[in-house]
Amino acid sequence: MSKKPVYTNILQIAVVVKDCDATVKKYADDYGIGPWSIYEFNPNTVSDMIIEGKPVEYAMRLALADIGGVQWEIIEPKDDKSIYASFLKEHGEGLHHVAFGTENYEETVKFYQEKGRPILQGGTWEGLTYTYLDSRKDLGVIAEIYKLVPDFAWPKPEAVYPSE
């Protein structure tokens, strides 16, 4: 048993959907949630893409908004390779993962490796390394963790909804 919590806070809740733009519009127009920053993640924007430890190129469109200090993420897979596409095919739209804060990225990865839990998917975007850990059996949801370069800043989104 870990003497300290593995996770220190909740950073993000993510939902996988069939249509990112339609979902963002629904959240903003019907529920007043937004504004949404929209990005494309693909082999041109993300390096070191992996799925289950192997290099695999994949793509997704995603949107981010803040709800009460927690980032909400909408993800639309743009191919059939990612864990998002597999989730959508197997479960339909819904809660996919929770991103947790951790005191030490490397120690958290090691903790999972020692439990025999694989890294499901990952990559590096603009100095942010994202890693999905298989915590489904223990926590009932996929866990995501980040490793950030010291001067990380969110890049300008490709689109914002509602537009400013």
117-122: average pLDDT: 92
Residues pairing with 149 in the sheet: none
Q: Regarding beta strands 70-77 and 60-67, do their DSSP bridges make them parallel or antiparallel, or are they unpaired?
A: antiparallel
Q: Are 114 and 120 in contact (CB under 8 A)?
A: no
Using alpha carbons, list the distances in angstroms from residue 67 to 31, 33, 35, 115, 154. Answer: 11, 7, 10, 33, 17
Q: Are 128 and 140 in contact (CB under 8 A)?
A: no
Structure confidence at residue 2 (pLDDT): 53
Is 158 domain-assigned?
A: no
Instruction: Compute, in degrees rounded to 10, the torsion defined by CA atoms 103, 109, 112, 117.
Output: 150
136-153: average pLDDT: 93
Residue 25 maps to which CATH number? 3.10.180.10
Say which amino acid occupies 140: G
Instruction: Using the Cα atoms of residue 146, residue 59, residue 77 and residue 55 in order, give the sign of their dihedral.
Output: negative
Structure confidence at residue 5 (pLDDT): 85
Say which amino acid occupies 119: I
Say which amino acid occupies 99: A
Q: Look at residues 123, 128, 111, 109 and name the one whose alpha carbon lies nearest to residue 58.
A: 123
The 10s digit of each residue's pLDDT in 39-77 is 999 999 999 999 998 999 999 999 999 999 999 999 999
What integer best gives the mean pLDDT of the chain?
Answer: 94
pLDDT of 118 higher than 90:
no
Please state, for a pLDDT cut of 70, what percent of the chain lies above it. Answer: 98
Domain range for 32 is 9-149
Domain count, the chain: 1
pTM for this model (two decimals): 0.93
